Amino acid sequence: MTLPDKYKTIENASEGIYKEKGSKFITYAYPVSDEDEVKEHIAELKKQYYDARHHCYAWQLGVDGKHFRANDDGEPSGTAGKPILGQIRSHDLTNILIVVIRYFGGTKLGTSGLIRAYKEGSIDAINNATIIEKTINDYYRINFDYGVMNDVMKVIKDENPNIHQQDFNLRCAIELSCRQSETKALINKFEKIESVSIDFIKTV
């Protein structure tokens, strides 16, 4: 089965809030591309809200649904991280981190109350965000001699990849990217041109 090469995420950071029986749930949602970004945002919020009792969160990366984490941060098991992750998935989002910071109001909310609070806080942040669709792109460096410049440029004109960098010295090099589902056709055309070598750079 081929994985999709497009996904939904949020364009920029957003905030949400939910209040219940004196407890305040402050929510932040961030677009993220790797676990390092996740750690940075969480560390930043823990520093900013150092006096809060809980910093619960969930994140998901990639399109296969296998790279995720949910953390209750001291709340009863399954009452915080899971409801947050549930909203990420029910809104069909990925490459996203949602952190819900709780200030305890003195009255216990019970299991169902906590689940509802973390769910509603997450929904508010998602509703306040701009949801966008992005494609997964493969990046390549195409190396070639001046003699085949016209052939290379014809492929680029026909397939219309994104050009990021061009270097015309003793040998030519063009760094480009295209949507993952279109990569095979593009690379096949380049491989048919004599003297062309192709280096894979990354997938984003």
Per-residue pLDDT at 106: 85
Same domain, 77 and 146: no
pLDDT for position 36: 96
One domain, residues 158 and 62: no
Residues of the chain with pLDDT under 70: 1-3
Question: Are 157 and 60 part of one and the same domain?
Answer: no
- Give percent above pLDDT 70 in the chain: 99
CATH number of the domain to which 79 belongs: 3.30.230.30
Q: 189 is in which domain, residue-wise?
A: 136-203
Last residue of a domain, one of 133, 162, 192: 133
Torsional class of 153: left (φ above 0), alpha (ψ -120 to 50), beta (otherwise): alpha
Q: Locate tokens 């399109």: which residue?
A: 63
Strand order in the sheet with 172-179: 162-168, 172-179, 137-144, 197-203
Q: Which of 109, 133, 157 is a domain's end point?
A: 133
Is residue 1, in this structure, part of any structural domain at all? Answer: no
Considering 87, 104, 133, which residue would you say is the last residue of a domain?
133
Q: How far apart are CA 160 and CA 186, in angstroms?
A: 9
Provide the number of structural domains found in the chain.
2
pLDDT at 170: 87
Residues 92 and 187 in one domain: no
CA distance 75 to 79: 7
Residue 167 is part of a domain; what is its CATH number? Answer: 3.30.70.260
115 with 189, same domain: the answer is: no
Q: What's the pLDDT score for residue 2?
A: 59
Is residue 147 domain-shared with residue 95, that is, in the same domain?
no
Per-residue pLDDT, 5: 86
Question: Which pLDDT value is given to residue 4?
Answer: 78
